[in-house]
Amino acid sequence: MIDLDEMKQLVAFADLGTLSKVAEEFHISTPSITRAMQHLEQYFGVPLFTRSKNKIELNETGRLAVDHARKLLSEAEEAVLQVRAFDQRQHTIVVKSCAPAPLWELLPKLSTQKPGMMVSSAICQNDEVLSAWQDGLCDVAILPFPIDGAKPFMQENLFVCVPEDHELTKHKSLTFADINGFNFLLRTELGFWDSLCREKMPSSRFLVQTDVSVFDELVRASSLPCFTTDYGQLQDGYPDRINIPLTDNEAHVTFYLVRKPNKRR
C-alpha cells in the first residue's frame, strides 16, 4: 500500500522545488529522499519526474499525483482527528444550560457521580439548548420549561439589587414594568436571563461586564441597580445593597433537566 510519509515528502518537493530542501525540511539525508521518490514512482508504476543529470522536476503526471497526495494527506489527518475527537466525546458529558445557576448545582454532582468523565458545559439561549438536545449534541440539557423526558431540577427567583439609598427601595416588591427604563449592570453568560431582561425591559440599557471581579467592583462603586437571585448569591449578597423581589411569573423559574440514557456497549 502507498506510503503516506513518502506522499508527504512528494508534496514537500512540489512546494520546495529541490530534493535537498526536502531533505533539510525533514531532517534526513538527500540519498534518503532520492530513494523515497524512486520508491514512490515505482509504486505508481509510471514516471512522475523528468530527470536531468543534476536536476529533477515533476512532470504533468507527477503534478497530478501531488494533487492527490495533498487530498489524501489532509483526509488522513482529518480522520485521525475525528477518531480522537470521538474518543474524547465518549469520555465527556456535554451539558447545555439556559442559565448559570443550574450548572453550579449540577457540575459538582456530575464530577463525583461520574468519576473519570470530563464535563463540558455551556450556557446559551433556550433555543440553542433545545436544538443541541434534539440533535443529540449534548448529554444533559437544562431549560426553564418542561420538555419530553425532563424532570424539575431546581427553582430560582429573580431579585432587583439596589443601593440602600436608591429610589426603588421604597417598594417592597417590584415588577418588570416598574423597573423598565432603569439602567442596569449585567453580567455576561446569563443564558436566557439576558434575553428575558431585554425583552421585559425594552426601555432599559444594560452595562454588560464579563469579568466577575470587575463586575463586583462596579456594583460596589456605582449606584446602578443589578440583579440577584435566591440561589447562592443572595445569602452573601452585596453589603449596602437591598434585594427586592420581582413578582412577575417570569421571575420565578423552575429549571427542568433532561439527560440521555446511559449508553451501554
Partner DNA sequence: AGGCATTACGCTGGACGTAAAAATT
Partner DNA sequence: AATTTTTACGTCCAGCGTAATGCCT
Residues binding DNA (CB under 7 A): 18-21, 27-32, 34-39, 49, 51-56
Angle, CA of 178, 213 and 207, to the nearest 5°: 35
* Residue in 43, 118, 149, 167 binding a copy of itself, rule: CB under 8 A: 43
Nearest residue to 95 (alpha-carbon basis) of 79, 114, 78: 114
- Mark residues 50-89: x for contact with a copy of itself by CB under 8 A, - for none: ---------xxx--xx--xx-xxx-xx--xx-xxx-xxx-
Please report how close the Cβ of residue 48 comes to DNA at its closest, in angstroms.
11
Please report how close the Cβ of residue 49 comes to a copy of itself at its closest, in angstroms.
12
Please report how close the Cβ of residue 106 comes to DNA at its closest, in angstroms.
38
Q: CA-CA distances (angstroms) from residue 256 to 93, 144, 155, 212, 253? A: 17, 6, 9, 26, 10
Cα 173 to Cα 21: distance, rounded to the nearest angstrom: 76
Residue whose C-alpha cell is 416598574: 178
Residue 264 near a copy of itself by CB under 8 A: no
* Residue in 32, 38, 74, 90 binding a copy of itself, rule: CB under 8 A: 90
Nearest residue to 195 (alpha-carbon basis) of 67, 51, 84, 98: 98
Q: Which is nearer to DNA, 56 or 107 (CB)?
A: 56
52 binds, among a copy of itself, DNA, none (CB under 5 to 8 A by kind): DNA
Question: How far is residue 256 CA from its own chain's centroid?
Answer: 22
Q: Which is nearer to a copy of itself, 35 or 68 (CB)?
A: 68
Report the SS3 class of residue 257: strand
Q: Which is nearer to DNA, 1 or 221 (CB)?
A: 1
Q: Which is nearer to a copy of itself, 91 or 220 (CB)?
A: 91
153 binds, among a copy of itself, DNA, none (CB under 5 to 8 A by kind): none
Q: Which is nearer to DNA, 55 or 263 (CB)?
A: 55
Residue 3 near a copy of itself by CB under 8 A: yes
Please report how close the Cβ of residue 12 comes to a copy of itself at its closest, in angstroms.
12
Q: Which is nearer to DNA, 57 or 178 (CB)?
A: 57
Query: Over 45-100, what HEC string results?
Result: CCCCEEECCCCEEECHHHHHHHHHHHHHHHHHHHHHHHHHHHHHHHCEEEEEECCH
Q: Which is nearer to a copy of itself, 7 or 138 (CB)?
A: 7
Question: How far is residue 32 CA from its own chain's centroid?
Answer: 44
- AA letter at 237: G
Nearest residue to 106 (alpha-carbon basis) of 210, 176, 96: 96
Q: CA-CA distances (angstroms) from residue 121 to 93, 114, 115, 118? A: 8, 15, 16, 10
Q: Which residues bind a copy of itself (CB under 8 A)?
A: 1-5, 7-8, 43-48, 59-61, 64-65, 68-69, 71-73, 75-76, 79-80, 82-84, 86-88, 90, 265
